[in-house]
Amino acid sequence: MNLKHLGGFALAASFSLGAFAADGLTASISMDKRTLGASDDVVVHVTLTNTSAVPQYVLKWHTPFGEIEESLFDVTRDGAKVAYEGLHAKRPAPTAADYYVIQPGKSYKATVELSQMYNMSISGDYTIRYSTKSAKLFSNADPSGRAFDKKQPDSLQSDALSVSIEGTLPRGAIAKAPADPVGLAGSLSFSKCTASQQSTITSAKSAAQNMSNDANGYLGANKTGQRYTKWFGSYSSSRYSTVKSHFVAIKDAFDNKPITVDCSCKKSYYAYVYPTQPYKIYVCNAFWSAPMTGTDSKGGTLVHEMSHFNVVAGTDDHVYGQSGAASLAISNPAQAIDNADSHEYFGENTPALP
């Protein structure tokens, strides 16, 4: 990945409510060439511009100004969606420190190599659009910065670029894709973990199994109480059966698949996975300080991450945090059933709901 990092780009120390209201952030995308050969990297330039008269705030992980850890692009090949194969993290709900401020009239540009995150090993006519949901912050922040996710946020999109790409192997994500997972069915193995970390992870896996057993008991009994509606929204039979199938797959993965947990991550958030690389889970700093069970726990983090694997439930991260997930269930149940934290909170069931 080829990233231009920004200097001096930080959230203002103080700000007043009402400064966020204008809708004035735009995204544009460009490429140096529109025809790429087999030896070319797939490089795009993304520019975010504040066209308004007031500062605009944007979640850091919805920008390309750092290591990319979310899907930030819509990519199609010959009209069909190309899946994001990059990293999916579990993060705490955002606070003030998680936003960049873009001052009026300012633009920031990043250069991104896309074939590490989207499968571009097949020749075809591609379209590429910068597209991130919940990208913007409006006037829902309190001055302490603790209430950023309480309101349905906006999205940010660029126009789509068309580019002809000659497919080749290896390229990007395909070059990194590992062989099928190894290990005995139902085994738990470790990478770069101390003995004490291994023991903690073993307990966390048991907690995750308890949560997935409990979730399957609930859904298998076809209950439609507050626990379901709080996290997945109003009842529909098709959404309910999707959620049920997700938890059957999550439980099956914990019970029967070879899981590897890697402890080398030093990021501040909880954990991450690559959705095309089951069943390897990378745990990070926040994981170690989380409680074993309950809200945003170690067990729940493993449920969250397990739900991301395409062979399990293929979930995405639309919002992070309990208040954001609860709002999403009301505003957009179709996204809630595709949101990893919603699965985690349903599994954790804290405080317990019927």
| Site of interaction with Zn ion (CB under 5 A) | 88, 90, 317, 340
Residue 49 pairs in a beta bridge with 26, 107
Asked about 348 being catalytic, the answer comes back as no
Between 102 and 208, name the residue whose CB sits nearer to Zn ion.
Answer: 208
Q: How far is the CB of 291 from Zn ion (least distance, A)?
A: 19
Residues in contact with 224: Cβ distance below 8 Å, sequence separation at least 6, in sequence order: 235, 240
**Which of 70, 85, 305, 348 does the annotation list as catalytic?**
305
Active site residues: 305
